[in-house]
Structures are given as structure tokens and as C-alpha cells.
Amino acid sequence: MNNLTEWLRLNFRVCLSATLMIEAAIGLIPQLRDCNVPTVVGGMEGLEYHSAALAALFFVLSFWLILGIRTSMVAAMSMALLVLPAIMTNPDGDPALAVKITLVSVFSVPLILYGGGRYTLYEVHEALNINRGTQDSETQSA
């Protein structure tokens, strides 16, 4: 079962990174904004510099997710940077964008809580005491 959850977290990491990369591409290449893809950066009309900076940040965060560098923190930042601008720039709501926000939340929450899974370069387990709890119970029973 542990092997399955590690693979699921790896897949969530890849899916969230792909979502961020699509947002970054739409934000950095203006010709892609005319496509029928629901996007956070594309809805920032009149904020060209802000959307370009946000797209560059999405690009960096997507690489960090693929590599597995501090996955919990990067997933939390990614979720916040995708959800908050979407809510602020579309107060009336957009059903397609709501689906994207829901998917981002589904991908991010397990990563925030449990980390990145397999093939992470740098992961910190101290925040939730994931490894320490099992080691302490083993040393006490011995």
C-alpha cells in the first residue's frame, strides 16, 4: 500500500507541474491567450507585467515540482498562486476555470500533507514527523 501511495504522489506531482507549465506557457507566449483554454494568467487583462511575473514564477515552481525539491512547500505555493488570482480576476466565476481550480486542489492537498513520493531530490519530513513517529515507536518497543 505504501508503494501505491508513493506512486500516486509522484503522479500528482507530475500533473500539478504540467498544469503550472501550461499556465507559464500561456503567460509567457501572448499568442496562446487566444486559445480556448481556461487560464489564470490569461484572465489578467491590463496587468501584463504582473501576469508575466506570475508566469515566470509558475515556470520555476513547475521545475521544482518535477525535481521534488521541498514538495510540500512548493505545492502549497503553487495552489495559492493558482487559486487566489483566479478568484480575484474572475469574481463572476468561470465554470471551466472552476474545474481547473478543483483539479489543482486535488493534486496539491496530498502533496502538501504527505510530500512528493518517489524520486524526490530534497524532501523534508520533519514538519509532520512522518519518519520520526515510526522510529520512536520501534525504539520504545525494543
The tens digit of pLDDT for each residue in 51-62 reads: 788 889 999 999
Residue 16's pLDDT is 94
Cβ pair 52, 83 in contact under 8 A: no
What is the rounded distance in angstroms from the CA atom of residue 57 to the CA atom of residue 46?
19
Write out pLDDT tens, residues 123-137: 665 545 555 555 555
Q: Which residues of 114-139 are buried (b: 16+ CB within 10 A; e: fewer)?
A: bbbbeebeeeeeeeeeeeeeeeeeee
Q: Which of these ranges, 28-37, 39-48, 112-121, 123-132, has the smallest mean pLDDT?
A: 123-132
Total of domains in the chain: 1
Q: Which residue has the higher pLDDT, 66 or 4?
A: 66
Cβ pair 82, 104 in contact under 8 A: yes
Mean pLDDT to the nearest integer, 90-117: 86
What is the rounded distance in angstroms from the CA atom of residue 95 to the CA atom of residue 114?
29
Determine the structural domain holding residue 47 and report its residue range.
Answer: 2-141
